[in-house]
Amino acid sequence: MSVIELKNINKYFGSGISKVHVLHDVNFSANRGELILVVGPSGSGKSTFLTIAGGLQTPTSGEVIVEGKPIAQLSTAQRDKLRLNQIGFVLQSYSLVPYLKVKEQFTFVNKVKRQGNLNEAELAGLLKQLGIEQLTNKFPGELSGGQTQRVAIARALFANPDIVLADEPTAALDSARVAEVGKLFKELAETRDKAVVVVTHDTRLMQFADKAYRIMDGKMTETSVTKAAAE
Amino acid sequence: MYLALKEIRHEKLRYGLIISMIVLIAYLIFILTGLAFGLAGENTQAIDSWDAKSIVLNKDSNINLSQSVITSDQAKNAKLTSKQAVIGSTPVVAKDKKRAKVSATFIGAKRNQFVLKDLKVSSGRKARSSHEVVVDQKFKDEGYRLGDKITLNSSNDSYQIVGFTKNAKINISPIIYGTVSTWQSLRGMMNVKVVGSAIVSKTAKYHAKNSHLKTYSISSFISKLPGYSAQNTTFGFMIGFLMIISLIIIAVFLYILTMQALPIYAVLRAQGIPARTLVATVTSQSLILMVAGLVIGAALTAATASIIPIGVPMSFNIPVLTWISIGLLIMGFIGSAIPAQKIATVDPVKVIGG
Ligand SMILES: Nc1ncnc2c1ncn2[C@@H]1O[C@H](COP(=O)(O)OP(=O)(O)OP(=O)(O)O)[C@@H](O)[C@H]1O
Ligand SMILES: [Mg+2]
């Protein structure tokens, strides 16, 4: 069963003559253990798709189903809970609280979400897997772009969500780092049994994906992984 | 609370600056309140010490004790019990060859009535004859000693200081307690049949039964003391404005800091951190800043109070200062309302959209 599913999603912004149709009948599903890529150019609707999938915006029509439950039926508080417990966001920037040391980012999550987070040993394992175990006493301002991104990934995984949604996680990284993050997402999806959804315009990530979608002017089509990578 | 404290610790300079502003404001408010109460006290100390509820004055005196004269004729039907006392009041200049002149208020009263009967001397003793007086502590501060003989105005009669009493000031002027007949001669009314300037009563509903005399409550009498109301209104306004300034400072600073941090709050909202937690962060920051400012301000005030010269009237009324502190805390709370509202309504999509 898919852990997250979008059915016939349409999203319009504005009204009257300024009305824009940003997502057209989008269908999407993701399973645990998979790295799913959504690739498209700037303005194609990737972020809109991701925020709808994460319950941050409501679609004009269509259904978002997380673990079998349509999220349209949830209250604001329940949606907060869903994002706290089942969804981990990794964003291009601002993902970390600037005045918390790396280890305190996790302490803070523990304070807000008291159960179901990784325990100390698991966190140590995760930090090791990400290669950031030495950075726990640093503030985000003291980290490089790649280190920041990996800490943000750790932050998202710490709450042990079923789904990880990442928006342009490689935007600030060079090619070598891109490959590293791609591998890492793939590995995290497999070893930790998560559905990892990455939206990006960066086709270099294609080779690591289990499944890929192409989004163009708000229309989403599934595409073969190898074909996309070849472009 | 966790985020609130961590942020303050990380941004020591910023928050240190805000706290120092609040310290200055709190300090200023505390000192002004101290002065307001000190001055108010020097206006009313003596009246408070009599513990009277009402006062009978000549109705043409414009509720001014020194202008009021009650004639024997007017007081004919007034029944005096142990709860009433006659006083005669007049401004005087007291001098002694060896000492500085002191502007004072002479209060003549009767030894068998409560004003003099209940008078507490802090050193020396009470007067036994009409040429003995008990004077306010201020005279001691000015160098006068027990046994000194003072003359009043341009009269040649001298009066020996036999006792000092504390808290005997009326309208910021130190009191010389003597007899009604001395008052009469100071007013040049030896040949007029007068009783005094006023009858003070420990009961609220006392009537002197004469159409020329009117009973006023002590509070309305006090509010008519020259300058008293104006002074209090001035202080009240200053304190009120400082409160509002503190509100503006905290609101503006928190607003700026919050607006800068809004993307972070947006991401935290996206990550499912409840808006309540984030609103609590800014609210508790505001309260932490206020409490820190108040504590340091209070410490500075206490330090100031301990080194203040005797002449400066300052009196720290703990309940009032507590209320003012609570008021400032409420200001902090209100000041965090706008930033809190910004946080509560932040749209994560705006930040993620990039
Ligand atoms: N709140 C909004 N109101 C109006 N139009 C919007 C709004 N949000 C997005 N759009 C429009 O929807 C389209 C898709 O935006 P979206 O942010 O999803 O693109 P994207 O694929 O993430 O682009 P990028 O790669 O540049 O981040 C754009 O044309 C954008 O202008
Ligand atoms: Mg985008």
Same domain (yes/no): B39, B78: no
Tell me the C-alpha distance between B118 and B46, whole Å.
12
Asked if A97 lies within 8 A of B272 by C-beta distance, the reply is no
Q: Is B177 in the same domain as B262? A: no
Burial class of A12 by CB neighbour count within 10 A (0 to 12, 13 to 18, 19+): middle
Residue B283 is predicted with a pLDDT of 92
- Interface contact A80-B272, CB threshold 8 A: yes
pLDDT tens digits, B9-20: 999 999 999 999
Sequence-distant (≥ 6) Cβ neighbours of residue A38 within 8 angstroms: A28, A46, A49, A50, A197, A198, A199, A200, A212, A213, A214, A215, A220
Pair (B249, B140) in one structural domain: no
The fraction of chain B above a pLDDT of 90, given in percent, is: 77
DSSP one-letter string for chain A = --SEEEEEEEEEES-GGG-EEEEEEEEEEE-TT-EEEEE--TTSSHHHHHHHHTTSS--SEEEEEETTEEGGGS-HHHHHHHHHHTEEEE-SS--S-TTS-HHHHHHHHHHH--SSS--HHHHHHHHHHHT-GGGTTS-GGGS-HHHHHHHHHHHHHHT--SEEEEESTTTT--HHHHHHHHHHHHHHHHHHT-EEEEEES-GGGGGG-SEEEEEETTEEEEE-HHHHHH-
Residue B53 within any structural domain of the chain? no
The pLDDT score that the predictor gives to residue B354 is 56
Enumerate the H helices of chain B as residue ranges: 2-10, 12-50, 114-117, 137-141, 180-186, 218-223, 228-270, 275-307, 318-335, 337-344, 348-352
Q: Which residues of B touch A110 (CB under 8 A)?
A: none
What SS3 state is found at B57? strand
Residues B341, B266 share a domain: yes
Tell whether B105 is covered by a domain. Answer: yes
Q: Ligand 1, atom 14: nearest CA belongs to which residue?
A: A45
Is B54 part of a structural domain of the chain? Answer: no
Closest CA to B38 of B227, B172, B226: B172
**Does any domain span residue B31?**
yes
Rounded to 5°, angle at Cα B136 from B130 and B141: 130
User: Are B242 and B133 found together in one domain?
Assistant: no
Three-state DSSP at B326 gives helix
Look at residue B202 and tell me if it is in a domain: no
CATH number of the domain at A214, please. 3.40.50.300
User: What is the pLDDT at residue A226?
Assistant: 64
Q: Are residues B281 and B319 in the same domain?
A: yes
Same domain, B238 and B277: yes
Nearest CA to ligand 1 atom 3: A13
Q: pLDDT tens for residues B193-210?
A: 999 999 999 999 999 999
Domain hosting residue B81, numbered range = 69-196
Domain count, chain B: 2
pLDDT score of A231: 46
What's the whole-number mean pLDDT along residues B95-109?
A: 93
Q: How far apart are CA A3 and CA B110, in angstroms?
A: 97
Under the banding of pLDDT at 50, 70 and 90, the label for residue B353 is low
Give the Å distance between the CA of B345 and the centre of ligand 1.
Answer: 21
* Residues B345, B253 share a domain: yes
List, in sequence order, every residue forming a beta bridge with B57; answer none if it has no partner: B198, B214
Note whether B248 and B173 are same-domain residues.
Answer: no
- Residues B243, B317 within the same domain: yes
Does B345 touch chain A if contact means CB atoms closer than 8 Å? no
Query: Quick one: average pLDDT of B128-137?
Result: 94
The residue-averaged pLDDT of B279-295 equals 93
Establish if B256 touches chain A: CB-CB under 8 angstroms.
no
Taking the CA of residue B273 and the nearest CA in chain A, the distance in Å comes to 7
Check CB contact of B5 with chain A, cutoff 8 Å: no
pLDDT at site B241: 92
* Residue in chain A lying closest to B276 (CA): A77
- How much is the ipTM here? 0.88
Say yes or no: B271 contacts chain A, CB-CB below 8 A: yes
Q: Is residue B98 in a domain?
A: yes
- Number of structural domains, chain A? 1
Closest residue (by CA) to atom 31 of ligand 1? A43
Nearest to A98 among B9, B264, B277 (CB): B264
Of B153, B180, B196, the position where a domain reaches its end is: B196
From A15, A46, A165, A198, give the residue whose CB has the most ligand 1 atoms within 8 Å, as the site to mutate: A46
3-state class (DSSP) for residue B229: helix
Inform me whether the pLDDT recorded for B216 exceeds 60. yes
Same domain assignment for residues B96 and B192: yes
Q: Which ligand is nearest to the CA of A39?
A: 1
pLDDT at A229: 47
Per-residue pLDDT of chain A (231 residues; tens, 9 = 90+): 789 999 999 999 988 889 999 999 999 999 999 999 999 999 999 999 999 999 999 999 999 999 999 999 999 889 999 999 999 998 877 789 999 999 999 999 999 999 899 999 999 999 998 889 999 999 999 998 889 988 999 999 999 999 999 998 887 777 887 888 888 899 989 998 999 999 998 888 888 999 999 999 999 999 887 644 444
C-alpha to C-alpha distance for A49 and A188, rounded to whole angstroms: 22
Report yes or no on B285 lying in a domain.
yes
How far apart are the C-alpha atoms of A193 and A176, rounded to whole Å? Answer: 25
Residue B161 structure tokens:
């200081």
Task: Using CB atoms, pick whichever of B11, B263, B353 lies closest to residue A94.
Answer: B263
Does the residue B109 lie in any domain?
A: yes
Domain of residue A93 covers 4-230
Q: Tell me, yes or no, whether B168 and B238 share the same domain.
A: no
The overall average pLDDT reported for chain B is 92
